[in-house]
Amino acid sequence: MTSQRFLNDKVGSKDFLRSLFESCKVHIVLMFVLMIAIIGPIASFAKTLKKDLQLVELIKNKEIISYFGGITSENEYSDFTVFGLLMIFGGIVVAFSLFSFAFKKNSVNVYFSIGLTRTRMFLNRLAAGTIWIFAVALIPYLTAFLMNVSMFGYNSYQLKLFAYFALLMFVRGMSGFAIGTLAATVSGSAIEMLITSGALSFIVLLPAVLLYGFKSNFLPGYVGGDDGSDKVPILSPWTGLLGNLEVNQLITGKKVPEEFLLTFKKEFFPIVFWAVGAAIIFAVALLLFKKRKNENAASFGKFSIASAVNGAAILFVSIVALSEIFSSLYYESKIKSIALCIILITVISFIIFFLAELIIRRNFKAVLRILPVYGGIALVTFASLLVIGTGYFGTFNKLPEAKDIEYISMSYNDPLACLMYNANVYSPEDYDKEKDYNCKSSNPEDIKMCIEQFNKVKTEKREGRNSIESMSFVIKTKDGKFIARNFPVYSEETYNNYNKAVFDSNYFHSIIKQSLNNVTSGDDYSESIRYVDGVQYSDTVGENRHLLDYYSGDLLASASLSEYEVQIYASSFEMTEELKAALYEDLSNITYDEYYGNKGKPQGALVNLSYASRRETQQYHAENGWFDFYSYDEDSDAEKVSKKTTVANTAILVYPQMAKTAELLNGTEQMKQDSSVKAVIYPDKKLMLNEAFEKIRGDFIISHYSNQINPVIFASANQSSNANDFFVNSDEISKIFGGKLTGTYLDFIELIYGANGVNVTRIDDKAKAQKISDEAYSVYNMYNDNGRCVFVIYDDGSVIAKYLPEKSLSVLN
């Protein structure tokens, strides 16, 4: 006898098999794409094994033990982020294919009148989709795993990677499937489902984004991180599941310990979060599916949940977009008042919301009915903006007493980067993690100085000006709280006073000491100290800038730069403990004005070089648990580096006042003695050399890899080209001028200015040239006026670019 229960099960099973069969096409396409994307690079890698004996050797020695594709910009590596997005989107498409019957009246008539409960119908489709998504996630990576075993031999690390990637892809697919299913159960049509899927994916982020936007745009000093807003992205699969993708997949046995997979929080938390999240969403979707009103099929805007979600998404997006627009208008001084911004954001978002609701609901009365909801939201928006705009009515930036502060850290905007690291403002949590971060001070004088500067900087008023720089503060109180703030500075006076106060502080001196200790010389790949004597500066002052910019396009010239050569070679210089001590003493004793307002000729510069390669690889730091990017030398056997570029990361100018350093350098006979001024050339308008070059550079770019006196690096748009010399070979420059560039560096200066229609005047009167040089400064960022760039030519052939302030222009006459 056939029982009723059996019949039920039989019909249910057949429906499940039918669901499985009917949704196979979508999955087969998805799997096909993923197979090509995932297996393709591995197959390509396997192919290179046949040709690359070095690689074979590395594998033989267990130097390389697995390869699951990579994330570098090279084309032959797969872009892992795209797989993730594809999988999530695929999950939404799967939901659509399984539940699309609910969007048409005629299919609704059939499916909802057959002998299945809604619960069974839903669960059958959920099971079918889950099985397929599992297969889609599993099969490509299982294939990848088997290929790994055949290439490298089996090791447990491959198995872990395979399991991790397959699980990650599965959860991504399921998160998209869950959201798509929920959207399908509350939507009347395919288009409404897709829109609702998008809205559901991101709506959880929007309030946090909104609040973060408000704070970033309107709360003075806000740097984020103290309100958990950085944790919010995990709430959306599109962001939450993509944050943990940066795993180097070309794994070398020596460099990556297997334990890295066990860093549960970093790697697995989003997976667990979204596995649980997807389960909850499916449960909610089932409840809603059981209550689904089929009379609303083939409609748009008739399902109240979808309409509410889409309406809220439109409202939030419009507020976020408007707050961005109005804050930028405010910072560009096109709108002077924050209050006006707040009112405009509220009113315009209201209008957008109202129109959008009219389009969605197509029912004026229905829209009128929900207006009180918007009224409430508008009121909250207005109140939030008001509270944020006033810095919580002044309490946000009120510092504790000096006695309650454990330590302080402040940014220093060093134009010459004297071997220090800027005091970057981390979010408090990250800051605390930086255990070996030494850019901080508990010295009472420093704390006092910090409080004074904080209170001055925070009161800076825009008054229609653009900011010069941002000043960052991190203050840790004795009760364990962090205060992290970043204020834009608008007035030169505040800017210079701040820099001066920091430069002359114990805090800064201790940073110099620590930074010098971090410098090594003769390292294989990244750091070596070289000495270059004779320094020339130029500048890229934009016309709309209030202060001259300290970085960019500084051209190094030296005594060895004759008027007939364009190349400069730096000498390698050993960074001895003795030199470090001398530098520390000199830099501690020299004042801010002496260092940055020096009119003399710098006798040289210590430049810390490193290579910036096009292709970087990551290195795992077992001791602190994170990956760092490193570039490797050409000769390194760990990783091949294609092109590399020499850049100067840090530099210290050596002025005559820095006696101990100068003495040491002179002792090595590498320091050129000062020579007298021979001549001066200058353009007849305020136009810096780099600025002039920028205007005519054609396909070439000037790369500024560091913000100090680094060399100008000429590079084509696609390829870095220079070698170890500071100034690129003249061929590159010559190309810009159609091969016409011949002659000297001075010819080059004239050519560049000439191409800009600017005349260059040369003064050969030695006395006058000396007078001009005496009035000019070596560092440009101190001045904001209509001065001139002057090039001082010395007897020994070196050329120094200096800046003659507007007030001293009379010496040119």
Partner 1 sequence: MIEFKNITKKYGSFTAIEGISFNVEPSSIYGLIGYNGAGKTTLLKTAAGIYKPENGEVLMNGQNTFDNSGVRKEMFYIPDDLWFPLSATPHSMAKFYSDYYPNFSWKTFQNLLELFGLQEKKRIRGFSKGMQRQTEIVLALAAKPKYLLLDETFDGLDPHKRDITKKLFMEYIAEQDASIVISSHNLAELSNLCDHAGLINGKHLTMDCSVYDISQNYGKFRLIFDRDITKDDFSEIKYKSLDLDGKIATIILEGNSVEEKQKLNALRPIAVDEYKLTLEEVFLNEMEDKKYDITKIFE
Name the burial class of residue 521, with classes exposed (0-12), middle (13-18) and buried (19+) by CB atoms within 10 angstroms of its CB: middle
CA angle at 25 for the pair 277 and 144, rounded to the nearest 5°: 70
Q: Given the complex with partner 1, which of 124 and 690 has the nearer CB atom?
A: 124
Least distance from partner 1 to the Cβ atom of residue 204, Å:
29
Q: Given the complex with partner 1, which of 300 and 507 has the nearer CB atom?
A: 300
Distance CA 803, CA 749 (A): 15
Distance CA 745, CA 407 (A): 49
**Cβ neighbours of residue 414 closer than 8 Å, sequence gap 6 or more:** 420, 422, 503
The DSSP result for 403-434, as a single string, is GGEEEEEE----TT--S--------HHHHHH-
Distance CA 137, CA 159 (A): 15
Least distance from partner 1 to the Cβ atom of residue 295, Å:
6
Is 3 a binder of partner 1 (CB under 8 A)?
no
Least distance from partner 1 to the Cβ atom of residue 54, Å:
56
Which of 3, 4, 673, 810 binds partner 1 (CB under 8 A)? It is: 4
Q: What is the CA radius of gyration of the chain?
A: 32
Neighbours of 200 (CB within 10 A): 23
Q: Given the complex with partner 1, which of 107 and 567 has the nearer CB atom?
A: 107
Is 112 a binder of partner 1 (CB under 8 A)?
yes
Q: Given the complex with partner 1, which of 36 and 110 has the nearer CB atom?
A: 110
Strand order of the β-sheet with 469-477 is: 405-410, 469-477, 482-489
Closest by CA position to 357, among listed 319, 314, 323 = 314
Is 190 a binder of partner 1 (CB under 8 A)?
no
Query: Stretches 84-92, 115-123, 213-221, 688-696: which one binds partner 1 (CB under 8 A)?
Result: 115-123
The residue type at 644: K
Least distance from partner 1 to the Cβ atom of residue 11, Å:
6
Q: Given the complex with partner 1, which of 361 and 440 has the nearer CB atom?
A: 361
Could you identify the residue written with the tokens 């003064």? 763
Q: What is the DSSP letter of 634?
A: T
Which of 259, 295, 634, 684 binds partner 1 (CB under 8 A)? It is: 295
Query: Stretches 6-14, 232-240, 544-552, 559-567: which one binds partner 1 (CB under 8 A)?
Result: 6-14
The residue count for binding partner 1 (CB under 8 A) is: 29
Query: Stretches 3-11, 397-405, 452-460, 695-703: which one binds partner 1 (CB under 8 A)?
Result: 3-11
**Cβ neighbours of residue 43 closer than 8 Å, sequence gap 6 or more:** 147
Is 305 a binder of partner 1 (CB under 8 A)?
no
Quick one: CA dihedral 436, 441, 443, 444, positive or negative?
negative
Is 25 a binder of partner 1 (CB under 8 A)?
no
Q: Given the complex with partner 1, which of 100 and 666 has the nearer CB atom?
A: 100
Q: Given the complex with partner 1, which of 11 and 35 has the nearer CB atom?
A: 11
**In 3-state terms, what secondary structure has residue 780?**
coil
Distance CA 710, CA 691 (A): 16
The helix or strand, by DSSP H or E, that contains position 398, with its residue range, turns out to be none
Cβ 736 vs Cβ 728: under 8 Å:
no
Closest by CA position to 410, among listed 491, 475, 490, 493 = 475
Least distance from partner 1 to the Cβ atom of residue 111, Å:
9
**Cβ neighbours of residue 52 closer than 8 Å, sequence gap 6 or more:** none
Is 104 a binder of partner 1 (CB under 8 A)?
yes
Is 544 a binder of partner 1 (CB under 8 A)?
no
Cβ 251 vs Cβ 420: under 8 Å:
no
Which of 35, 44, 120, 588 binds partner 1 (CB under 8 A)? It is: 120
Q: Given the complex with partner 1, which of 11 and 371 has the nearer CB atom?
A: 11
Closest by CA position to 530, among listed 439, 652, 412, 692 = 652
C-alpha pair distances (Å), 687 with each of 536, 745, 759, 785, 802: 16, 17, 11, 12, 12
Which of 61, 81, 106, 624 binds partner 1 (CB under 8 A)? It is: 106
Query: Stretches 13-21, 515-523, 559-567, 624-632: which one binds partner 1 (CB under 8 A)?
Result: 13-21
Could you identify the residue written with the tokens 């009219």? 358
Is 108 a binder of partner 1 (CB under 8 A)?
yes
Least distance from partner 1 to the Cβ atom of residue 125, Å:
15
Q: Given the complex with partner 1, which of 365 and 435 has the nearer CB atom?
A: 365
Is 8 a binder of partner 1 (CB under 8 A)?
yes
Least distance from partner 1 to the Cβ atom of residue 368, Å:
14
Is 421 a binder of partner 1 (CB under 8 A)?
no
**Cβ neighbours of residue 476 closer than 8 Å, sequence gap 6 or more:** 405, 406, 407, 408, 440, 482, 483
Q: Given the complex with partner 1, which of 369 and 462 has the nearer CB atom?
A: 369
Which of 33, 49, 85, 116 binds partner 1 (CB under 8 A)? It is: 116
Which of 254, 266, 290, 398 binds partner 1 (CB under 8 A)? It is: 290
Which of 294, 424, 562, 675 binds partner 1 (CB under 8 A)? It is: 294
Query: Stretches 167-175, 205-213, 286-294, 567-575: which one binds partner 1 (CB under 8 A)?
Result: 286-294
Q: Given the complex with partner 1, which of 109 and 337 has the nearer CB atom?
A: 109
Least distance from partner 1 to the Cβ atom of residue 188, Å:
13
Is 11 a binder of partner 1 (CB under 8 A)?
yes
Q: Using CB under 8 A as the criterion, what x/- string covers residues 48-87 for binding partner 1?
A: ----------------------------------------
**In 3-state terms, what secondary structure has residue 682?**
strand
Residue 4 corresponds to which tokens in the numbers above? 């009723």
The residue type at 240: G
Is 287 a binder of partner 1 (CB under 8 A)?
no
Least distance from partner 1 to the Cβ atom of residue 361, Å:
11
Is 105 a binder of partner 1 (CB under 8 A)?
yes
Query: Stretches 185-193, 225-233, 272-280, 288-296: which one binds partner 1 (CB under 8 A)?
Result: 288-296
Least distance from partner 1 to the Cβ atom of residue 302, Å:
8
C-alpha pair distances (Å), 736 with each of 14, 370, 540, 717, 752: 73, 64, 19, 13, 10
Which of 18, 398, 478, 481 binds partner 1 (CB under 8 A)? It is: 18
Least distance from partner 1 to the Cβ atom of residue 26, Å:
15
Query: Stretches 84-92, 104-112, 621-629, 682-690: which one binds partner 1 (CB under 8 A)?
Result: 104-112
Query: Stretches 103-111, 241-249, 731-739, 789-797: which one binds partner 1 (CB under 8 A)?
Result: 103-111
Distance CA 494, CA 498 (A): 6
Q: Which residues of 279-296 are buried (b: 16+ CB within 10 A; e: fewer)?
A: eebbeebbebbeebeeeb
End-to-end CA distance of the chain: 117
Least distance from partner 1 to the Cβ atom of residue 299, Å:
11
Is 118 a binder of partner 1 (CB under 8 A)?
yes
Closest by CA position to 644, among listed 706, 713, 572, 707 = 713
Distance CA 644, CA 634 (A): 8
Which of 110, 142, 355, 379 binds partner 1 (CB under 8 A)? It is: 110
Q: Inter-axis angle of helices 118-152 and 156-185, to 10 degrees?
A: 160
Q: Given the complex with partner 1, which of 124 and 318 has the nearer CB atom?
A: 124
Distance CA 789, CA 465 (A): 25
Residue 680 corresponds to which tokens in the numbers above? 């001066």
Least distance from partner 1 to the Cβ atom of residue 108, Å:
6
Cβ 696 vs Cβ 688: under 8 Å:
no
Is 127 a binder of partner 1 (CB under 8 A)?
no
* Site residues (vs partner 1, CB under 8 A): 2, 4, 7-8, 10-12, 14-15, 18, 104-110, 112-118, 120, 290, 293-295
